[in-house]
Structure 1
Amino acid sequence: MVEALSVLVLLGTGLVAGVLFAVALSVMPALIAMTPERYVDTHRLLGRRYDRIMPFIVTGSTAIDVGFAVRADGAARLLFALAAVSMAGVAVVSQTRNVPMNRRVKQTRPEDLGPHWRDPRPAWRGWHLVRTCCAVAGCTLTAAAVVLS
């Protein structure tokens, strides 16, 4: 069971880190380059499936890291605990910063954009980079902990 959970937590943290890294490296620069109208349309299309699956993967990975932290000894315990905190950081930033911005953009009609529209892309990018760093740290810490346990 421990081996299966180890694979699952490595898969989960790796998926989260990989997806967020890809968005930061490729998707976000493309979105920033778009006109506001095109951005709103594209943003609606991009989040449809991520919004359903990513919270489950982040929460599941965090829970497994917590479970391993409770069970492990020594350095592995500390690494699993830090990994759990990092993955919890992904969840907190996502739910309190990026998701609310996503909801506002999804409720915006491109034809309603005007000079008063406040472009969320700079703030979204900044918070996205925070959660990407948390995810990469969580994945790295989980991998190191699995190796040591």
Structure 2
Amino acid sequence: MPSTTVYQHHLFGRQKIMWELFLAVGVQKKLEGLTFVSVDLDDSFSELAEGIASLVRYTTTLQRIENRKHINVGEEHQLLVVLDALKKNSSINVLLIDVQWVTPEIAASLSELFEVNNTLIFVELCNTATEISTNEVANDPTWFGD
């Protein structure tokens, strides 16, 4: 399976570089997987989330997106952009994200996503080793709690 891993570095013009990357990946017709790995904890997930969401809206070949760029506490809302874009995607079936907490907003967005997206079969929200499958949610409407 063709795949690529992107290592983020603190570079001058990082935003421009990121958008150039997303444009290049967006026109790629054979790429099935995309992984983001970061060794630093700079504050770049917002840019990354917007780029991932843009890819998700337009890709027809990507099947797996993995983001190991840690989302800090208080910034979990940035993930909502990606989850919203996945609602209309029909190619991505695996999503792995490194997030500290599954907030009520993320849980609600995941619930809505699982209702409308029949392609996504595996979601892993790491750091708490939480794994959620669409079957678990479909078979247990109280999964997210009160």
Calculate the TM-score normalised by the size of structure 2.
0.24
Calculate the TM-score normalised by the size of structure 1.
0.23
Higher RCO structure, 1 or 2 (CA under 8 Å, sep 6+): 1
Q: Between Structure 1 and Structure 2, which shows a larger proportion of helix residues?
A: 1
